[in-house]
Structure 1
Amino acid sequence: MSARRGMRRLAPLAALALLLATAPALAQDLLIRNATVHTATARGTLQGADVLVRNGRIAAIGTRLDAAGATVVEANGKPLTPALFAGITAIGIDEVSGEDATTDTTLALGAGSKEMVVRPEFDVTLAFNPDSLLVPVARVEGLGFTVLAAGTGEGGSIIGGQGAVMRLDGGDQPAGPKLLFVQLGGGSAAGLVGGSRAAQWMLLDQLVDEVRGRIPAGSNAALLTPAGRDTLKRYLDGGGRLVVRVDRAADIRQLLRWSKRHGVQVAIRGGGEAWRVASELAAAKVPVFVDPLDNLPSNFDRIHATLENAARLRAAGAIVGFSQAGDSSHNARKIRQLAGNAVAHGLPWEDGLAGLTRVPAEAFGVGGELGGIAPGMRADLVLWDGDPLDVASLARQVWFDGRAIPMHSRQTELRDRYLRPAPDATRGDLPRAYSTPAH
């Protein structure tokens, strides 16, 4: 048989092998029957409802829906929600925080020098690792998407760079538009501009002047590269949102004035004192992603922090979401506890769920795809054994595009391994950790 004929004969086999290899990733048809469906949309909560999924998307929500060949899951009245927001994190770009080789969050060009480095074109999504062990740890807890944040650490600048929404379904491409990360106020961001908050605003205005051509690109005073100017111009022209880490009420007011003056869309991350400017935030329709456990004056930017921050913001009409202030990546599952604490301190329950679903999806540009249960949206769903905002509840099953994911992770595997009965020296099937080397 000639080589050419052999290649023709192998081609169909190769195509079949490729199809089989990709089959698990294909969208599934699914009917979840008799659930308490928290839609996170204007329809609110539906009791005893069915959710039908076709080709990976929500096809219908109602009662006594016809399965018509779809896999049927009996919910028995248990809560069904959209897959939840994991917060603004470094999941997939920060594996072991203490090991530099596994962290990709921060650009450090110019570290140790006096030169200010401003590189808004830096994009952390290029380093995202879908095989990170943090991904399954988060998603078995009902978390379906996160926002990767570019850091502004030592050697960086007040502008960290770009990130985006990433689904935790095993893919490696951003699910939404790019976001630009900025840090203002005290701490390291102030240190990088000589310790002066006023210098931050001076530099931000200079960057605007560069983009608008008021400072020539070749000027000795220029801070941006050509790519940096193009990137920043897109945000100044309304093509993206700035996510600004800021806490002090006075700094938030200054941010609102600056963003209005330049026509820039912003979202606030942190907002420890945001409740003090709640009416201004509501009027500007600026979403605020708070940590409801931030209730102590841990620094001079958070003197007025309170457990009622989320409730007071929402009562004033502000848009409220959640993100952890601490180790948001390795402990992403705790974000449900944050939302539950906000509800315990006055935030309505539906707003607590919205802060983990609809609010982040809409704020970060994926509102038509994620964060709700409605016809046409992705079937990224979670069936719970109890109240999803109760830390004692667990996810019974998580689906991405209607595909049920394995409900295990490295942590559950370790749990199961070490919950075995006490080692028996006569057994030969124990893991190596239980065996004693012969002497």
Structure 2
Amino acid sequence: MRTFRNRLSALARAGLLAAGLGCAAGAAAQDLLIRNATVHTAGPQGTLRGADVLVQGGVIRAVGSGLAAPAGVPVVEAQGKPLTPALFGGISGIGLEEVSGEAPTVDMAVSLKDQPVRPEFDVTLAYNPASVLVPVARMEGIGFTLLAADAGGAFVAGQGGVVRLDGSADPVGPRMLFVRLGAGASDLSGKSRAAQWMLLDQLVAEARGKVPADSPHALLTPAGRAVLARYLAGQGRIMVKVDRAADIRQLLRWAQREQVRIAIAGGAEAWQLASELARARVPVFVDPLANLPANFDQIGATARNAALLHAAGVEVGFTQGGDASHNARKVRQLAGNAVAHGLPWEAALAGLTRVPAQAAGVDDRLGTIAPGRTADLVLWTGDPLDVINTAEQVWLGGRAMPMRSRQTELRDRYLRRGEGGLPPAYIR
């Protein structure tokens, strides 16, 4: 037990040190000139070779060739290396969970017996900017992530939002409402996916005042009615986790009937409705590694999902299944796999930058390299979609982030050699 506690204490010290590094960096200058980079803007300008990016006050002021550095502004010589916007870490729980198997450290879902449908539940209130997962993701080029409410006691899970991984305590941009449909949520809807639409219709009726608030059959609290009413009025996007084509078809019909803005997460069979999704302007966040059916909702899964959707005009982003919070860095691998199966490289980069920023309503600040945008930038050793390359330096708001994390601190601690040839951690 003592050995376990000692190891836990070592992990905590290393993690807190790495997490605190971002706060220490907050005092650093927010002005710099990055010179002679291959600038992948992820915007209308496309890729600019031999270009410069001027940052002042944490904001991009100019992008072009031959820019002059104002007096006192440090210059970074990129030597032609790729420069991209800071990447999207997927739909995750970074800062909402520390140890997935330890329930007190996980704050992504709510499960209440009385009135379990609580759209007013907002996971961003539990966000911990000092989480050890923040620097782990950040040093891999991840600058922002979408915190998701996970289905706990109801298929309408609650709200989440975008956070920047710069140590800021508060989310940026509007909230999103998270809903799960299909077989994965049938246990939360009377063992039937058909009941999900019945319950959604009732929720809509309640939010629009068609069901008395004191009805014994009401599913929503007054606060829940007010929150859902905002989304029904178009003030925010609803992110729906759904895979089966038949369910996506019903979702599109429901969204059109109720005039709500939606996005899809997962969408293993979304390619079968690509043209309909394009017409409805619904972005889809896919997992390109979903190539074989993991369940009966994914019979039509294919590695070409992203390419087929893009070819039809759908905006494609990326997210991953499994432990997305601890493995946010793998989102680059997902994009690279999509490229290997037909998605254009530029579209894959957009799926890691511009597309998620637009879907979350933060594209006025994040997702592209352009004057007026927040200077969240990454300089890479090579092609960022090839996992052989790494982030050489990350800037968030123009501040150079420490390229260290709990993992690198522990690596260095146990690799250093001391007396007797043992690392210092083993010497009493």
Note if contact 2:25-2:401 (Cα within 8 Å) is conserved in structure 1.
Answer: no
**What's 2:151 paired with?**
152
1:253 corresponding residue in structure 2: 249
Query: Which structure 1 residue ranges, 4+ long, deviate > 6 Å from structure 2?
Result: none
Tell me whether 1:285 sits opposite 2:281 in the alignment.
yes
Asked if 1:223 is matched to 2:223, the reply is no
Name 1:141's counterpart in structure 2.
Answer: 140
Who is 1:16 aligned against?
A: none
Q: C-alpha distance in 1, partners of 2:289/2:25?
A: 43
1:172: how far off? 1.0
2:53 maps to what in 1?
51
Q: What is the alpha-carbon root mean square deviation over aligned residues?
A: 1.4
Rg comparison, structure with higher value: 1
Question: How far apart are 1:395 and its partner, in Å?
Answer: 0.3
Q: How many Å apart are 1:116 and its aligned residue?
A: 5.5
Cα pair 1:378 1:401 within 8 Å, conserved: yes
CA separation of 1:63 and 1:233: change in aligned 2, threshold 3 A = same
2:65 pairs with 1:63: yes
**In the alignment, what sits opposite 1:170?**
167
Corresponding position: 1:184 with 2:172: no
**Structure 2 counterparts to residues 40-439 of structure 1, below 5 A:** 40-68=42-70, 69-110=72-113, 117-153=116-152, 156-187=153-184, 189-421=185-417, 424-425=419-420, 430-432=423-425, 434-435=426-427
Change in Cα spacing, 1:426 to 1:339, as seen in structure 2 (3 Å) is closer
Deviation at 1:355, TM superposition (A): 0.2
Kindly report which structure 2 residues correspond to 1:11-26, keeping only aligned pairs within 5 A, or say none.
24-25=26-27
The one-letter amino acid of 1:411's match is: Q
State the secondary structure of the residue aligned to 2:159: strand
Query: What's the secondary structure of 1:414's corresponding residue?
Result: helix
Within 1, Cα distance between the matches of 2:209 and 2:133? 43
Cα distance in 1 between the residues matched to 2:29 and 2:357: 21
How far off its partner does 1:426 sit? 7.5
Asked if 2 retains the 8 angstrom alpha-carbon contact of 1:116 and 1:157, the reply is: no
For 2:97, the aligned partner's letter is D
Question: Which secondary structure does the structure 2 equivalent of 1:164 belong to?
Answer: strand
* Counterpart residue number, 2:19: none
Moved more, 263-272 or 63-72: 63-72
Q: CA deviation at 1:135?
A: 0.1
What's the offset of the Cα at 1:307? 0.6
Higher deviation after alignment, 26-35 or 236-245: 26-35
Q: CA 1:338–1:22 in structure 2 vs 1: closer, same or farther (change >3 Å)?
A: closer
SS at match of 2:298: coil
Task: Specify the code of the residue in structure 2 equivalent to 1:159.
Answer: V
Q: Say if 1:184 and 1:280 are closer, same or farther in 2 by CA, change over 3 A.
A: same
Give 1:196 deviation, angstroms: 0.8
**Structure 2 counterpart SS, 1:109:** coil
Change (3 A) 1:25 1:222: farther
Kept after mapping to 1: 8 A contact 2:284/2:315:
yes
Is residue 61–residue 371 contact of structure 2 (8 Å, CA) maintained in 1? yes
- Kept in 2, the 8 Å contact 1:32–1:73? The answer is yes
CA distance in 1, matches of 2:115, 2:376: 42
Amino acid at match of 2:178: F
- Deviation per residue, 1:358-415 (Å, 9 max, x gap): 0000000000100000000000000000000011110000001110011000011122
Contact kept, 8 Å, 2:25 with 2:400, in 1: the verdict is: no
2:76 counterpart SS class = strand
Letter of the 2:234 partner, please give it.
G
Distance 2:295 2:150 in 1: 19
Instruction: Give the partner amino acid of 2:219.
Output: L
Amino acid at match of 1:101: P
Equivalences, count: 405
Unaligned runs of 5+ in 2: 1-22
- Runs of 5+ in structure 1 lacking a partner? 1-20
Contact 1:145 1:166 in 2 (8 A): yes
**Distance in 2, Cα, partners of 1:341 & 1:426:** 43
- Aligned residues of 2:395 and 2:401 also touching (Cα < 8 A): yes
Task: Answer yes or no: is the 8 Å Cα contact 1:241–1:267 preserved in 2.
Answer: yes
- AA aligned to 1:36 is T
- What are the Cα deviations for residues 144-166 of structure 1, in whole angstroms up to 9, with x where unaligned? 0000000103xx10100000000
Q: Name the TM-score, length of structure 1 as normaliser.
A: 0.90
In 2, distance between residues paired with 1:312 and 1:242? 23
CA distance in 1, matches of 2:212, 2:341: 52
Counting aligned pairs with the same residue, the percent is 67
SS at match of 1:96: coil
Shift of 1:424: 3.8
Partner Cα distance (2:25, 2:378) in 1: 22
Which amino acid is 2:295 matched to?
Answer: N
Give me the whole-angstrom Cα distance separating, in 1, the residues matched to 2:217 and 2:145. 37
